[in-house]
């Protein structure tokens, strides 16, 4: 049996590569005769640069830029052999850079300035194309920080978005993602008003992806960027499709398999690739809140929760790799033994 293991990162506990290796260990322990192809992936959010460096090679650069609270942070960005630069917005303005107990206090002031500094660095190096991975941000500034640094870019700019949300409204940047970043209901309303007042974003605010990374997507669109699916781009660059050719099963996963997972994120890309070939796809996630019907509509046959398998959130978080490995072993027993 040929199994493609293609997970995203697990919410700050495991990188995509670590998650793939943990799943691989568990699977091999239960089904040593299966052939495994590990393809760690990303959808534009955390891990974007690491995954693409592993797939493409190229040169990693490191820049000290402004973090979400204005502090200095070190961010890595990639220049591939073809001269394309890949920037990961989460490295400069990621939610993981803000301590949990300080998120509510910083949600209104968190800035994307550091992302602008990374784009400026790549543009200054003469890169012909700059791909900005969007996702996992602490910010809802509509890209104001980026625009304070970058007013024009010589390179072609591509926004690799992990979501399809517009800038404003009930599915917009503030309403959808603000609470995850620490915003109360009244702060969400204030953020919405602030985004609506940014005249520079008015022509693009209804476009898919404008709400990505707290409106950073809209700022990039205002600079003339094109938008692509981050998951789809990584799917192509990591050659996931050739790996799926001839496979019997696709295994993917992420920290939380929820309704947002079905709106352009990585799992839909893997499940879509599997469905195109008529092979099943299963999800291993830290937590699962998607119902069977919704998952099935996205091409996912089964989904499994590390938390449920371990018995509690505390147990799963105490040993993220070990509990994911244990779950993978159980899933392998179910799927490998049921296949010819």
The domain boundary residue, chosen from 203, 231, 259? 231
d(CA 41, CA 45): 10
Q: pLDDT tens per residue, the chain (340 residues)?
A: 999 999 999 987 899 999 999 999 999 999 999 999 999 999 898 999 999 999 999 999 999 999 999 999 999 999 999 999 999 999 999 999 999 999 999 999 999 999 999 999 999 999 999 999 999 999 999 999 999 999 999 999 999 997 889 999 999 999 999 999 999 999 999 999 999 999 999 999 999 999 999 999 999 999 999 999 998 999 999 999 999 998 999 999 999 888 777 766 788 889 999 999 999 999 999 999 888 888 888 889 999 999 999 999 899 899 999 999 999 999 999 999 654 4
Residue at a domain's end among 231, 258, 287: 231
CA atoms within 13 A on the CB side of 204: 22
Count of domains for the chain: 2
Q: What range defines the domain where residue 316 resides?
A: 2-41+239-336
Choose one of 231, 253, 268: the last residue of a domain: 231
Distances (CA, A) of 76 to 19, 64, 89, 92: 21, 9, 10, 9
Q: What are the φ/ψ torsions at residue 285 (nearest 5 degrees)?
A: -135, 155
DSSP 194-206: HHHT-GGGGGGTT
Q: 62 and 199 share a domain?
A: yes
Q: 101 and 184: one domain? A: yes
Coil, strand or helix at 101:
helix
State phi, psi for 276 to the nearest 5 degrees.
Answer: -60, -25
CATH number of the domain within which 93 lies = 3.90.1510.10
> Is residue 61 located within the same domain as residue 26?
no
Q: CATH number, domain at 292? A: 3.40.50.10350
Give CA–CA dist 181/106, Å, rounded. Answer: 9
Residue 253: strand pairing partners: 284
DSSP class of 279: -
**Between β-strands 35-38 and 2-5, what pairing exists: parallel, antiparallel or unpaired?**
parallel
């Amino acid at each position: 049996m040929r199994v493609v293991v293609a997970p995203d990162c697990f919410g700050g506990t495991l990188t995509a590569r670590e998650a793939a290796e943990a799943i691989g260990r568990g699977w091999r322990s239960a089904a040593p005769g299966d052939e495994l192809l590990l393809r760690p992936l990303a959808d534009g959010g955390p891990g974007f640069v690491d995954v693409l460096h592993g797939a493409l090679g190229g040169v990693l650069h490191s820049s000290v830029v402004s973090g979400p609270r204005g502090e200095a942070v070190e961010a890595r960005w990639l220049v591939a052999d073809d001269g394309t630069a890949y920037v990961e917005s989460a490295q400069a303005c990621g939610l993981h850079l803000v301590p949990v107990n300080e998120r509510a206090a910083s949600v209104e002031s968190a800035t994307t300035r550091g992302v602008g500094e990374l784009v400026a660095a790549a543009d200054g190096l003469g890169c012909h194309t700059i791909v900005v991975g969007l996702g996992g941000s602490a910010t809802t500034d509509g890209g104001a920080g980026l625009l304070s640094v970058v007013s024009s870019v010589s390179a072609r700019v591509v926004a690799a978005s992990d979501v399809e949300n517009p800038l404003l409204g009930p599915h917009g940047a503030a309403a959808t993602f603000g609470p995850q970043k620490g915003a109360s209901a009244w702060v969400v309303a204030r953020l919405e008003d602030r985004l609506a007042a940014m005249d520079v974003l008015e022509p693009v605010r209804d476009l898919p992806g404008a709400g990505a990374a707290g409106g950073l997507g809209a700022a990039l669109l205002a600079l003339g960027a094109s938008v692509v699916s981050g998951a789809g781009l990584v799917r192509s660059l990591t050659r996931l499709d050739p790996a799926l050719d001839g496979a019997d099963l696709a295994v993917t996963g992420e920290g939380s398999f929820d309704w947002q997972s079905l709106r352009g994120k990585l799992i839909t890309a893997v499940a879509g690739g599997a469905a195109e070939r008529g092979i099943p796809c299963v999800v291993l996630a830290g937590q699962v809140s998607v119902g069977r019907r919704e998952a099935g509509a996205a091409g996912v046959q089964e989904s499994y929760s590390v938390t449920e398998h371990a018995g509690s959130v505390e147990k799963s978080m105490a040993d993220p790799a070990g509990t994911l490995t244990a779950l993978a072993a159980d899933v392998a027993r179910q799927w490998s033994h049921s296949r010819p």
